[in-house]
Amino acid sequence: MKETTWVQNVIKEAEYDHYMTGGKDFIDDDKIWEKIEKNKSPEPARIRSIIQKSFNLELLSPDETAALLNVKDPHLWDEIFDAAGKIKRKVYDNRIVTFAPLYCSNFCVNNCLYCGFRSDNKDEKRLKLTLDDVRRETEVLAGKIGHKRLIVVYGEHPVSDVNYMADTIRTIYDVKVKARKGLGEIRRVNVNAAPMSVEDLRILKDVGVGTYQVFQETYHHKTYSEVHPKGTLKANYQWRLYSMHRALEAGIDDVAIGALFGLYDWRFEVMGLLYHAIELEKQFGIGPHTVSFPRLEEAQNVAFDTLKYKVSDDDFKKLVAVLRLSIPYTGMILTARESARVRREVLPMGITQTDASTKIGIGAYSEIYGAEKMSERKDQDLGKQQFMIGDPRDLDDVVRELAQMGYITSFCTAGYRCGRTGTNIMTLLKTEKEGQFCKLNAILTFREWLDDFASDETKKIGEELIKKEMAEVKSRMPKIYSEKTVSTLENYHERIKNGERDLYF
Ligand code: SAM
Ligand code: SF4
């Protein structure tokens, strides 16, 4: 199909019109600013009672979030930071889930002013992985590095339409690679792609996609139109805003939202994300599975003024903590766009997921890990990637550092394979039960990874961590874990040590 014909058929207005009232969507720019203004100079006592509400794992109201955003006193911020970490532990325990992005194609019909893939960037080398390439990339990710979860990423273009996406996802799930003791394989594929129709989303659902992720980029209508030129598909704010509604209609239960911080005022974007969560809960009883807050990074030939709304490291930490308190049950993703230092500082603010060994050039994993000598490794090539990443460290280094910080890296993918998605997972999260399953599965998948992929140094630290985690599980018997659960855990752990794989609760 010709590119122009394809483009004309993507957007289906009838699929979002009916959610709007009087032609308006659920983001009211003026109202957001009013709330931010109205809640200036909040009393410390009010902030403390808002923090308490977050501990009950309820969504905050827009007024409450606006009050948090207006805190000035550094001591009160310290209380917010501390609460953010505690709430995360209450819901998710001390585990951090890890994943890697796999960029499949950088062809794009859009022209987003901030992105290296935009159609006007003629210096970008356009590449699309063949299914053989996808297999090779997956072999490195699952067989050499040891990832179990991927997020696949595509530009918006007819060459990477939903059928191509479905083929790539099937290919990834098919790859099995012999590891030291067991098998390397990807057990959960999440997708970051353009907004799609319900019909296309059903195709993704049928190939077993995990989470479907679309970032609104900016919730501010005027800025949205400025950075997404008229006449492009992405210029349609509502088609994008309601993409999660369509995903839920299509039966994809785990939906993920995000904003690209640095396009507009960060406080406004936090409010936008909260309103999005409120709307999803209202319409479907399901909030966002994860929230992302990428900061704008340098990209090739980008003339866009990236400084006007640049988010400082201090404000970044604040926005992450406020999001944790505002949507207390949600997963929160911190990516390798950030430097190792920022990741260390922001992780305790309530992060649940992070990527590692991240390469975002098309075909980069096999190229880089296939290099004969380390000196030949060229980790970043702006001509083939969307933006610069800040933390290129290998998974082994990240896992070791996390262990030293007291976190266990979880490779668990059990949740969606045994129906812990959608409203089920929302209930488990809000009643603090999800963290209990996750702890057990984190131990088991960490065991697998240590045996199959860890360096000697990481293995040593990891063994200590497993001992500590096992002891902790036992100490919570019988109140949290039954005797039977603990003995099943010990049994699974032994079997995994002996080479069995994929045993989970
Ligand atoms: N093309 C699809 C879309 O735009 O939704 C999906 C893939 S796009 C490659 C993934 C995300 O990268 C975008 O949603 C945007 O938030 C982010 N991104 C784009 N340019 C960026 C930049 N210069 N720095 C950081 N993130 C960027
Ligand atoms: Fe294309 Fe997405 Fe980049 Fe926009 S952000 S130019 S839609 S790849």
Q: Read off the pLDDT of residues 124-145 as tens digits, 9 standing for 90 and up.
A: 999 999 999 999 999 999 999 9
Closest by alpha carbon to 263, among 234, 302, 305? 305
- Using the 3D structure, point to which of 430, 446, 464 is the last residue of a domain: 430
Cβ 100 vs Cβ 394: under 8 Å: no
Confidence check: pLDDT of 461 > 90: yes
Residue 40 lies in a domain: no
Q: Is 115 in the pocket of ligand 1 (CB under 6 A)?
A: yes
In a domain, 60, yes or no: no
Q: Is the CB of 212 under 6 A from ligand 1?
A: no
The alpha carbon of 256 and the centre of ligand 1 are apart by a number of angstroms equal to: 14
Residue 61 lies in a domain: no
pLDDT averaged over the chain?
Answer: 93
Same domain, 255 and 362: yes
Ligand 1 centre to CA of 115 (Å) is 7
Between the CA of 156 and the centroid of ligand 2 the distance, in Å, is 7
For residue 488, the enclosing domain spans 434-497
pLDDT at position 373 is 61
Residue 430 pLDDT level (bands cut at 50, 70, 90): confident
Exposure b/e, 375-400, CB count within 10 A at least 16 = b = eeeeeeebebbbbebbbbeebbbbbb
From residue 313, give the alpha-carbon distance in Å to each of 295, 310, 317, 352, 493.
Answer: 10, 10, 6, 19, 40
pLDDT at 300: 86
Q: Is residue 53 part of a domain?
A: no
Q: Are residues 390 and 456 in the same domain?
A: no
- Give the pLDDT band (50/70/90) at residue 277: very high
List the residue whose alpha carbon is closest to atom 19 of ligand 1. 115
Find out whether 233 and 110 touch, Cβ atoms under 8 Å. yes
**Under 8 Å between Cβ of 147 and 141:** yes
Distance in angstroms (rounded) separating the CA atoms of residues 63 and 32:
9
Together in a domain, 403 and 449: no
* Rama region for 300: left / alpha / beta (φ>0; ψ in -120 to 50; rest): beta
C-alpha span between 262 and 7 (Å, rounded): 28
Separation in Å, CA 151 to CA 100, 362, 429, 462, 464 = 6, 14, 22, 25, 30
Domain count, the chain: 2
CATH of the domain at 10: 3.20.20.70
Q: Is the pLDDT of residue 368 over 60?
A: yes
Position 302 pLDDT exceeds 80: yes
Task: Return the C-alpha torsion angle 344, 345, 349, 351, nearest 10.
Answer: -30
- The token duo for 233 is 């598909």
Three-state SS letters, 323-366 = HHHHCCCCEEEECCCCCHHHHHHHHHHCCCEEECCCCCCCCHHH
The answer to whether residue 230 sits within a structural domain is yes
Please tell me the residue having the least CA distance from ligand 2 atom 8: 155
For residues 345 and 475, state if they share a domain.
no
**pLDDT tens digit sequence for 390-421:** 999 999 999 999 999 999 999 998 876 766 77
pLDDT of residue 375: 59
- How far is ligand 1, taken at its centre, from the CA of residue 177, in Å? 31
Vertex 312, ends 257 and 213: CA angle to 5°? Answer: 10
**3-state class (DSSP) for residue 104:** strand
- The verdict on the CB of residue 401 being under 6 Å from ligand 2 is no
- Angle CA 119–114–364, to nearest 5: 70
Instruction: Report the alpha-carbon distance of residue 141 to residue 69 in Å, rounded.
Output: 39
Quick one: pLDDT at residue 266?
98
In a domain, 70, yes or no: no
- Compute φ and ψ for 231, nearest 5 degrees: 90, -10
Do residue 180 and residue 270 come from a single domain? Answer: yes
User: If pLDDT is split at 50, 70 and 90, which confidence band does 370 have?
Assistant: confident
**Separation of CA 117 and ligand 1 centre (Å):** 9
pLDDT band at 221 (very low <50, low <70, confident <90, very high): very high
Of residues 236 and 305, more confidence is placed in 236
Residue 366 lies in a domain: yes
Listed residues 430, 455, 473: the one ending a domain: 430
Pick left, alpha or beta for residue 471 (phi over 0 → left; psi -120 to 50 → alpha; otherwise beta).
Answer: alpha
* 362/462 same-domain check: no
Is residue 402 domain-shared with residue 462, that is, in the same domain? no
Ligand 2 site, residue 258, Cβ cutoff 6 A: no
Question: Looking at the structure, do residues 405 and 450 belong to the same domain, yes or no?
Answer: no
Ligand 2 pocket, 234 CB below 6 A?
Answer: yes
Q: State whether residue 183 is helix, strand or coil.
A: strand
Q: Which ligand is located closest to the Cα atom of residue 218? A: 1
Q: Tell me, yes or no, whether 502 lies in a domain.
A: no
**Probe ligand 1: pick from 157, 192, 218, max atoms within 8 Å of CB?**
192
Nearest CA to ligand 1 atom 26: 296
Helices (H), 2-73: 3-8, 14-17, 29-38, 44-55, 62-69
Report d(CA 410, CA 146) in Å as an integer: 12
Q: Which ligand is nearest to the CA of 192?
A: 1
pLDDT, tens only, 4-34 = 999 999 999 999 999 999 999 999 999 999 9
443 and 406 share a domain? Answer: no
Q: Which tens digits make up the pLDDT trace of 195-210?
A: 999 999 999 999 999 9
Q: Which ligand is nearest to the CA of 152?
A: 1
360 lines ligand 2 (CB under 6 A): no
pLDDT band at 431 (very low <50, low <70, confident <90, very high): confident
pLDDT of residue 378: 64
Sign of the dihedral defined by the CA atoms of residues 381, 382, 386, 389, in that order: positive
Instruction: Report the helix count and the strand count for the chain, using DSSP H and E.
Output: 22, 11
Gap between the Cα atoms of 155 and 3, Å rounded: 14
Average pLDDT for 143-148: 96
**pLDDT score, position 18:** 97
Q: Is 292 helix (H, G, I), strand (E, B) or coil?
A: strand
188-192 and 183-184 beta bridge pairing: unpaired
Question: Do both 223 and 304 map to the same domain?
Answer: yes
Q: Which among 430, 452, 473 is the end of a domain?
A: 430
Whole-number pLDDT of residue 275: 98
Lowest mean pLDDT across 269-278, 349-358, 408-417: 408-417
Task: Say if residue 442 is in the same domain as residue 404.
Answer: no
Answer yes or no: is pLDDT of 374 > 60. Answer: no
Question: What is the distance, to the nearest Å, from the Cα of residue 185 to the centroid of all Cα atoms in its chain?
Answer: 20
Ligand nearest to the CA of 234: 2
- Is-contact 343 354, C-beta < 8 A? yes
Q: Are residues 396 and 447 in the same domain?
A: no
Q: Looking at the whole model, is its pTM more than 0.85? A: yes
Query: Which pLDDT belongs to residue 140?
Result: 96
Lowest pLDDT segment from 71-80, 410-419, 455-464, 473-482? 410-419
Is 260 close to ligand 1, i.e. is its CB under 6 Å away? yes
